[in-house]
């Protein structure tokens, strides 16, 4: 066995150019497989950790996925709003510990503006129960203060104290701007890897204030009256959605039921975890397609190896005959080829790991800043190890075919080979 291994290695070294090319093709395909798997799991992880600590999300009645999309991912729009009275009534329930009202609908250069209260900075959690942290500055205090998500500040190059004008509506090239009431940047948040990085945060009162002179979606100066802002009651009349934290998670279903049956208004309460699962399930096809494609790439790599081996086999019949003549057994000749494919596959897999981890180490900062996707440089998990061993055994299996052919050749040819 040791001798056969030595011969296999020497033989491979002698054909090192083809061996290296074969190894690289295996390495690239395996690296792709591992990479897809890595991104898949990390994306799922990052996705499901967009929001945490929130027990219920409440909005106007629509689909649970739609509610999740606009309240958490800032995708799409609400079909309807919640009245301020309903908000207050739910917030005053016994079981409720805290609430965060959310008011959406405006934007700044393509980034959504979110009206809320300072409770947002106290209670909002993402990932493994991470609280929001300020990179610079403080939460909003004055009426026209704005707190920027990390990406907004970075991409647009905003510093503390800068003036920001909010557009009406959510298009990135909206022509109707709230130019009469510019905001001042007072805080910039740390990156979270969630849609929060792409959000501008203002107070609910500010949202109310900038819409004073607006009637049915158009700006009519003076239509809201002449009283100065400081003398007005800026309590919101309605909000888009609310996040609810409960004293005990046990009461979540109970509150959900009572919200869903709320008489005054058509409301809907969703459990974020369940809705996230539902949404990810819809993306599952993409996920498995990626995995299937990379599995096929690996199969192509292994087929390449098989082809190279079978092609070289005819040239190596002489070698087999020499080995037979000095008493090498046919199964040892078979083993020679199996060890060869095993060695190639193993080396290819190790190379793939170095490709993957080297690539991740180099490109991780880029991926993180461009896609907000944080990929952990962790050791391969159980599933990856399973994938790797599957590749390895398939590689060994690829050796059995030429190995068996060589076995048959060496039995039939004996020590003589007609060239």
Task: Please report, for residues 226, 321, 327, 398, the alpha-carbon distance to residue 317 in angstroms, rounded to integers and kept in the order given.
Answer: 99, 6, 15, 19
Pick the closer one to other proteins by CB: 141 or 322: 322
Q: Is residue 414 near other proteins by the rule CB under 8 A?
A: yes
- Tell me the pairing of strands 111-116 and 199-203: parallel
Pick the closer one to other proteins by CB: 11 or 238: 11
Q: How far is the CB of 4 from other proteins (least distance, A)?
A: 9
Task: Please report, for residues 39, 110, 117, 189, the alpha-carbon distance to residue 353 in angstroms, rounded to integers and kept in the order given.
Answer: 15, 39, 47, 35
Which DSSP letter does residue 95 get? Answer: T
- Residue in 5, 11, 304, 396 binding other proteins, rule: CB under 8 A: 11
In angstroms, rounded to a whole number, what is the distance separating the alpha carbons of residues 136 and 146?
Answer: 12
- Tell me the pairing of strands 214-215 and 218-219: antiparallel
306-345 binders of other proteins (CB under 8 A)? 318-319, 321-330
Tell me how far apart the terminal alpha carbons of the chain are, to the nearest angstrom: 29
Number of residues that bind other proteins (CB under 8 A): 23
Pick the closer one to other proteins by CB: 221 or 327: 327
Region near other proteins per CB under 8 A, out of 89-97, 168-176, 237-245, 408-416: 408-416
Q: What phi-psi label fits residue 51: left (phi over 0), alpha (psi between -120 and 50 degrees) or beta?
A: beta
Return the sign of the alpha-carbon dihedral for residues 260, 99, 249, 193: positive
- Residue in 13, 128, 250, 263 binding other proteins, rule: CB under 8 A: 13
Region near other proteins per CB under 8 A, out of 3-11, 103-111, 127-135, 282-290: 3-11
Q: How far is the CB of 49 from other proteins (least distance, A)?
A: 54
Q: How far is the CB of 406 from other proteins (least distance, A)?
A: 15
Burial of 368 per CB tally in 10 Å (0-12, 13-18, 19+): middle
Which residue in the block uniquely carries the two structure tokens 């962790």?
378
**Do residues 235 and 208 make contact, with C-beta atoms less than 8 angstroms apart?**
yes
Q: How far is the CB of 351 from other proteins (least distance, A)?
A: 22
Q: How far is the CB of 285 from other proteins (least distance, A)?
A: 49
263-292 binders of other proteins (CB under 8 A)? none
Q: Within 10 A of 110 (CB to CB), how many other CB atoms are there?
A: 15
Pick the closer one to other proteins by CB: 212 or 321: 321
Q: How far is the CB of 328 from other proteins (least distance, A)?
A: 6
Pick the closer one to other proteins by CB: 17 or 326: 326
Q: Is residue 408 near other proteins by the rule CB under 8 A?
A: no
Q: How far is the CB of 14 from other proteins (least distance, A)?
A: 3
Binding residues (CB under 8 A) for other proteins: these are: 3, 7, 10-11, 13-15, 318-319, 321-330, 414-416, 419
């Amino acid at each position: 066995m040791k001798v056969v291994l030595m011969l296999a290695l020497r033989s491979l070294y002698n054909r090192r150019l083809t061996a290296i090319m074969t190894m690289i093709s295996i390495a690239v395909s395996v690296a792709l497989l591992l990479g897809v798997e890595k991104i898949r799991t990390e994306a799922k992880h990052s996705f499901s950790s967009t929001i945490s600590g929130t027990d219920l999300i409440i909005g106007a009645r629509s689909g649970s996925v739609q509610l999740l999309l606009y309240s958490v991912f800032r995708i799409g729009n609400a079909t309807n709003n919640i009245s301020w009275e309903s908000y207050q009534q739910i917030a005053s329930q016994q079981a409720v510990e805290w609430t965060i009202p959310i008011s959406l609908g405006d934007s700044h250069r393509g980034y959504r503006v979110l009206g809320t209260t300072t409770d947002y900075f106290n209670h909002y959690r993402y990932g493994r129960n991470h609280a929001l942290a300020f990179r610079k500055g403080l939460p909003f205090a004055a009426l026209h203060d704005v707190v920027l998500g990390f990406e907004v500040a970075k991409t647009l190059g905003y510093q503390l104290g800068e003036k920001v004008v909010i557009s009406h509506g959510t298009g990135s090239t909206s022509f109707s701007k709230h130019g009469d009431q510019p905001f001042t940047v007072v805080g910039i948040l740390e990156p979270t890897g969630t849609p929060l990085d792409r959000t501008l945060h203002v107070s609910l009162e500010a949202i109310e204030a900038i819409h004073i002179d607006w009637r049915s979606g158009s700006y009519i100066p003076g239509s809201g009256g002449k009283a100065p802002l400081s003398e007005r009651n800026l309590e919101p009349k309605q909000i888009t959605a609310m996040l609810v934290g409960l004293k005990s998670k046990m009461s979540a279903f109970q509150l959900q039921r009572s919200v869903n049956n709320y008489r005054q208004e058509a409301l809907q309460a969703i459990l974020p975890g369940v809705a996230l699962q539902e949404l990810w399930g819809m993306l599952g096809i993409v996920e498995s397609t990626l995995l299937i494609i990379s599995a096929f790439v690996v199969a192509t790599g292994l087929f390449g190896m098989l082809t190279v081996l079978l092609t070289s086999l005819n040239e190596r019949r002489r070698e087999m005959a020499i080995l037979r003549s000095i008493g090498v057994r046919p199964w040892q000749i078979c083993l020679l080829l199996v060890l060869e494919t095993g060695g190639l596959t193993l080396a290819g897999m190790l190379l793939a790991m170095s490709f993957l981890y080297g690539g991740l180490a180099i490109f991780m900062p880029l991926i993180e800043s461009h896609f907000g996707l944080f990929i952990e440089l962790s050791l391969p998990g159980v599933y990856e190890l399973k994938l790797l061993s599957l590749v390895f055994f398939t590689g060994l299996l690829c050796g059995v075919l030429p190995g068996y052919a060589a076995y048959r050749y060496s039995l039939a040819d004996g020590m003589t080979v007609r060239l």
